[in-house]
Amino acid sequence: MNRHLLSIDDLAVDDVRTIFDTAVEMHDVQKRQVKKLPALRGRTVINLFFEDSTRTRSSFEIAGKWLSADTINITGKGSSTSKGESLRDTVLTVCAMGVDALVMRHSASGSAKQVSEWVDAVVINAGDGTHEHPTQALLDAYTLERRLGSLEGRRISVIGDLTHSRVFRSNVLLLTKLGAEVTVVAPPTLMPSGIDAWSKDAGFATSYDIDEVLPTSDAVMMLRVQRERMNGAFFPSAREYTVGYGLTRDRLASLAEGTPILHPGPMNRGLEIAADAADAAHSLILDQVSAGVAVRMSVLYHLLAGEEATA
């Protein structure tokens, strides 16, 4: 396994299997009365978040604490970057305090890789711009495997704002790596440029027709419309987006019975996903949140404790 986790491309299939196998054990920790393992005792993990986050940041914090690491949260608004300090100076300053790992989220694509070249600490990409979010993809695939078994040959549809989604990019890389047949669906204005060439190389399909794709899907992943990243009009109105690409009550009925529904959150209820779909019995949205802690515990463990350590 590579020293850092910056992209899904850093992981071979065997690495993914190792992370999932350990995550199963870590998942059991959530059922214990005392949720503590000694694996990372004496190690220090900084969650350095320059963008807002609820799930990812709290998930990493809980994961580190349950492994007995000392975890500290730093946000952009409360750091010296708000006073004009550069990203390089901020991370060098933090790492000079003896940090073992940086979990970093930043609005700039490629920022996690850049930081990994500046510091000696392990760097985990917790989302960099519109580039990648590898631990989200890991927890999504882990959640799906727990429900569906092997993903080999499974038809998985990823639907929504693809242009601004780092989750989409990491998920396509991982799901195809695990043998799934992935179809991505979006309106033309939210389909990334150059996706035709990429889809041929990576082995996934594209579609503009959600109603054609849904009935044949073994699992559906809805993506958030990221209006905060849009500097123009990508669709005429929220209602027209919902009519064209939302997982509405009517479309929910077109799914095969029990088809898993995923969403990485936060959700825009009533826009890309109806409340009936988000709260359906076959929705795995809260399972994703729970799996996030287990998978991130596994990632921290393998990157920091090493293969010979015991949990």
Give 150-189 pLDDT, tens digit per residue: 999 999 999 999 999 999 999 999 999 999 999 999 999 9
Q: Flag whether 88 is marked binding.
A: no
Question: Do 147 and 245 fall into the same domain?
Answer: yes
Does residue 210 lie in a domain region?
Answer: yes
How far is 17 from 252, CA to CA, in rounded Å?
32
Whether the CB-CB separation of 102 and 95 falls below 8 Å is answered with yes
How far is 49 from 40, CA to CA, in rounded Å?
21
Helix (H) or strand (E) holding 159: strand 155-159
Q: Is the peptide bond before 38 cis (omega within 30 degrees of 0)?
A: no
Query: Dihedral of CA 71/76/82/84: which sign?
Result: positive
Does residue 191 lie in a domain region?
Answer: yes
Q: Flag whether 83 is marked binding.
A: yes
Whether the CB-CB separation of 171 and 235 falls below 8 Å is answered with no
pLDDT value, residue 83 = 76
Question: Do 102 and 151 fall into the same domain?
Answer: no
Question: Do 108 and 215 fall into the same domain?
Answer: no
Whether the CB-CB separation of 104 and 117 falls below 8 Å is answered with no
Q: Flag whether 226 is marked binding.
A: no
Does residue 1 lie in a domain region?
Answer: no
Q: Flag whether 130 is marked binding.
A: no
Question: Do 83 and 151 fall into the same domain?
Answer: no
Q: Flag whether 306 is marked binding.
A: no
Question: Do 161 and 109 fall into the same domain?
Answer: no
Question: Do 220 and 267 fall into the same domain?
Answer: yes
Please report, for the domain that includes residue 298, its CATH number: 3.40.50.1370
- Per-residue tokens: 212: 């054609």
Question: Do 24 and 73 fall into the same domain?
Answer: yes
> How much is the pTM?
0.94
Question: Do 272 and 176 fall into the same domain?
Answer: yes
Does residue 311 lie in a domain region?
Answer: no
pLDDT value, residue 237 = 86
Domain that holds residue 78: 8-129+290-305
Number of structural domains, the chain?
2
Question: Do 125 and 138 fall into the same domain?
Answer: no
Q: Flag whether 302 is marked binding.
A: no
Angle between helices 195-202 and 166-177 (to 10 degrees): 30
Q: Flag whether 146 is marked binding.
A: no
How far is 37 from 207, CA to CA, in rounded Å?
45
Angle at the Cα of 304 (from 303 to 306), degrees rounded to 5?
80
Q: What's the pLDDT tens digit per position in 26-43? A: 999 998 999 999 999 999
Question: Do 70 and 145 fall into the same domain?
Answer: no
Q: Flag whether 266 is marked binding.
A: yes
252 has pLDDT over 50: yes
The mean pLDDT of 118-146, rounded to a whole number, is 97
Does residue 2 lie in a domain region?
Answer: no
Q: Flag whether 36 is marked binding.
A: no
Whether the CB-CB separation of 5 and 303 falls below 8 Å is answered with yes
DSSP string, 242-254: HHHH-B-HHHHHH
Question: Do 196 and 264 fall into the same domain?
Answer: yes
- Per-residue tokens: 135: 């631990």
The mean pLDDT of 64-70, rounded to a whole number, is 97
Question: Do 300 and 254 fall into the same domain?
Answer: no
Q: Flag whether 269 is marked binding.
A: no
Mean pLDDT, rounded, of the chain? 94
How far is 274 from 247, CA to CA, in rounded Å?
6
